[in-house]
A and B are shown apart, each in its own frame.
Chain A
Amino acid sequence: MNKSVLGQLIRINLLYANPQSTQKLRQRSRSNRRLTWALVRQYVLAGLMLAVLYGFLLTMVDLVRNKGLFDNFLGVFAIFSLSQGISIINNVFFESKDQAAYLPLPISARLVFLAKMMVVLIAVAPMTLPILYVFVATGFKAAVNPVLAVVVGLLLFGLVVALMTLLGAFIVFGLARTKLFQQHQKLVTFGLLFISFAAMMAGILMLNFSTASTTSVTAGIPVLNWFHDAVTNPLSLASGGLIGSLVILVAVLAWGTDRWLLNQFLVGPTRSTMVTRKPHQVVQRSFRQRLVRYNLGLLQSPTLLLQAVSMTLLPFIMMGAGLLTDSHSRAAIAALPIRFSGLFLVVGVLAGAITVNSSSLVSVSISLDRANLEYILAMPISLKRYLRIKFWTVYGVQALMVAVLAVAVAVFLQLPVWHTAALIAGLLVGVYLMSVVYFARDWRLRDLDWSNVTTLFNRGGGNFLTFAVIFGGYIIGAIVVFMDYMAISVMGGLVATGLVLLVLLAVGALVVWWFDWHYWSAHLTENLH
């Protein structure tokens, strides 16, 4: 095996593992070698931070006695590594679309496959470092010989990471063989990535919940209890049995990888051209309907959708984590009488506003046109009308996403219908107002030559702006909600809500006036250059 070629291949494929990190680090104009190390350092640092954070939380818990928490922790981080593995495998093997580029080169496909799998391990292992911490710390606490505790901890950690990575590979490659994937590649990939993301988020919430109740001792999950037994009593027969079983399982999956996945890789990725298509039929649709469909089509990129969905969910999760774990707050919110519906409207506006950020669909929708936008200018449609159709189409998707989320939250909180309706109305207004702002921002920063959609998220201090808006929104939101609550309590629901509506109307009118009348009429000509 040529080690220098393997090293080069690993370096190249590291760039694909997390395109957004790569893009951000590249913007700091790093040389290729430094970029590689910066990427590796980022993975290791993230893993260490997780290990330190959860390590600190777990110092307060007796993991030897509390099997349940041990199992929860192991289970959640195993899911973490699986979901991280799925996302990285998808990026490195499928999204990179680089397989054909290696074909003319004197490099074996096996070496390329190996390099890609090693990149997956490099990216997955650090994120699961807390498992190593739990294994070793539990061993120490159980008074196991420290050297033995470290060796067994390392061995089990390695086996868990390998197992999860190989499972991830089987899931992604297995899915790629299905007819469904071949026909709807983008949507299925998004579904897969979204499920991984949702599992990760659920894991974080579960961890918060279980570390919040560290005093209760629970029995745990039978299969994961074996790990507990192996760590606390490494010289037992059960421990040997577990390690032996894991080694066999990993070996079988590794053999299967070599036998089936490598073969699939050698044959080449399934191309959509191989799919039998229905013959084209001219369907009578208006030009507007066709533009709506075209703009919806532009949104069907798994990376874009995942980023947009996750960044829409993030403020909800950050805000809702406390509510989800506190049944008293939930009951108090659900019991608020009808006169407080105005409060839900205000919460909706604020929550809606902070779900729109530089990664939202509406914030990149103009740039998604790329060269098409020039061509559309040559068509007999005014740019203004085209952008209007685009805005409402993408706003519709964004608003629908947030409304569905709001219904889920309302059902979970058992909110009455009037509160739910006020919350959704507020969300739609909040999303609209911020969408107007970010749509104009996309026009101002428009990039029609991008090669990776992640470039669009980082324009104009994108991430900083996003978090500034979210945290600023929380602070302002808390003040406004408190004031509104007090106003309703003092003046009554009707008057306070009336006042809120007036303020909303004024703010809304100001935003619409500024952007629709002032900004666009000053900046929108019928040409691009």
Chain B
Amino acid sequence: MIRFQHLSKHYGDKVALADLSLTIPSGEIFGFLGHNGAGKSTTLKSLVSVIAPTSGTISVDDLDLAGNRLAVKRKIGYVPDSPDLFLELTAGDYWDLLASAYEVDPTARAQRQDELVRLFNMQDSISTPMADFSHGMRQKAIIIGALLPDPDVWILDEPMTGLDPQAAYDLKLLMRRHADEGKTVVFSTHVLATAQELCDELAILKSGKLIYNGRVDQLLATMPDENLESIYLKLAGRPENDEVWRELEGADQHE
């Protein structure tokens, strides 16, 4: 279980995250939705220790992050928003680095790596430098790396970007399987269809503020004729009759 309490992040006068409080239960897939700059990555990066929150606390399985940083980090597997990492290493070297960082048992690691490599069709790419991979292949290598320690909490920032349809499908199955094993999957996405399909629970952020937190089925039940995209746009999007739309419609009429 992950708990954010009154989490805020300020960059000077700019508020990236304002007083976020929410709880993510174990055994679920939890999605963060929001426009660019809404605070999704700030939240996830605070959880993985990349960003220091201005105020507030984060705890994972009742362990306070600030006081138990290494212990919490050991529980987390992280897939960042950009896979352009460790380009100097081969995929195999990168996984070796992660396996030793997380002190993964060699036998379990070999078994897990073999399964994931076959799943993502990377058998012939283990000795290839990450620099030579396409965006999608790098993403696959990072996903495999994050899963090697079989983390209690799996965090993915925009994970579907650049993946081919098969890999995207496989990733969704992996996320579901991970949650079904009682572990927690937290991800951010702009793809609302994916969120609707995958998430048990979600949070919608707008300009650093939490505007919705709850179960997806409950949210959909409030507007039975609508899908998540239209509900999301009603909650977080631009009003239908706002100035920009009026201007665009005006331009259409002139044409």
Contacts and interface: CB of A to CB of B under 8 A. Distances in A.
Interface of A: 271-273, 277-280, 282-283, 285-287, 290-291, 294, 297-298, 300, 371-372, 374-375, 377-382, 525-529
22 contacts: A271-B132, A273-B128, A277-B127, A277-B128, A280-B90, A280-B126, A280-B127, A282-B92, A282-B96, A285-B96, A290-B96, A291-B97, A294-B97, A297-B89, A372-B85, A379-B98, A380-B70, A382-B70, A525-B52, A527-B49, A527-B52, A528-B51
B169 interface: no
Nearest to A281: B92
In this complex, the member of A291, A298, A374, A380 whose beta carbon has the largest number of chain B beta carbons within 10 angstroms is A380
Interface of B: 11, 45, 48-52, 69-70, 73-74, 76, 78, 80, 82, 84-86, 88-93, 96-98, 100-103, 106, 110, 126-129, 132
Contacts of B52: 525-527, 529
A374 B80 contact: yes
Contact of B101 (A280, A371, A379, A526): A379
A377 to B, nearest CB: 5
Contacts of A374: 45, 50, 80
A378 B127 contact: no
Contacts of A377: 48-50
A380 B73 contact: yes
Contacts, number: 95
B88 A382 contact: no
A382 B48 contact: no
A378 B78 contact: yes
Nearest to B97: A290
A279 B90 CA distance: 11
Nearest to B51: A529
A278 B90 CA distance: 11
A526 B69 CA distance: 9
Contacts of A527: 49-52
A529 B49 CA distance: 10
B252 to A, nearest CB: 34
B64 to A, nearest CB: 13
Contacts of B100: 285-287, 290
Contact of B48 (A271, A273, A285, A378): A378
Given A280-B127, A375-B85, A380-B70, A528 B50 contact: yes
Contact of B85 (A272, A282, A290, A371): A371
A380 B74 contact: yes
Given A272-B132, A290-B96, A381-B101, A282 B106 contact: yes
A285 B103 CA distance: 11
Nearest to A273: B132
Contacts of B98: 379
Contacts of A528: 50-51
Contacts of A277: 90, 127-128
A17 B225 CA distance: 62
Nearest to A271: B132
Contacts of A283: 96
Nearest to A279: B127
Nearest to B47: A378
B69 A294 contact: no
Given A286-B100, A378-B73, 15 more contacts: A277-B127, A279-B127, A280-B91, A282-B96, A285-B100, A287-B97, A371-B85, A374-B80, A375-B80, A378-B48, A378-B78, A379-B73, A528-B51, A529-B51, A529-B52
B69 A382 contact: yes
A89 B208 CA distance: 50
B141 to A, nearest CB: 12
Nearest to B155: A378
A340 B11 CA distance: 57
B139 to A, nearest CB: 13
Contacts of B76: 378
A380 to B, nearest CB: 4
Nearest to A527: B52
A297 B128 contact: no
A294 B86 contact: yes
Contacts of A372: 85-86
A47 to B, nearest CB: 37
B74 to A, nearest CB: 4
A430 B76 CA distance: 42
B57 to A, nearest CB: 14
Nearest to A282: B96
A527 B49 CA distance: 6
Contacts of A294: 86, 88-89, 97
Contacts of B70: 380-382
B11 to A, nearest CB: 8
Contacts of B74: 380
Nearest to B44: A378
Contacts of A529: 11, 45, 50-52
Contact of B82 (A279, A287, A371): A371
B217 to A, nearest CB: 31
Contacts of B93: 280, 290
Nearest to B149: A380
Contacts of A382: 69-70
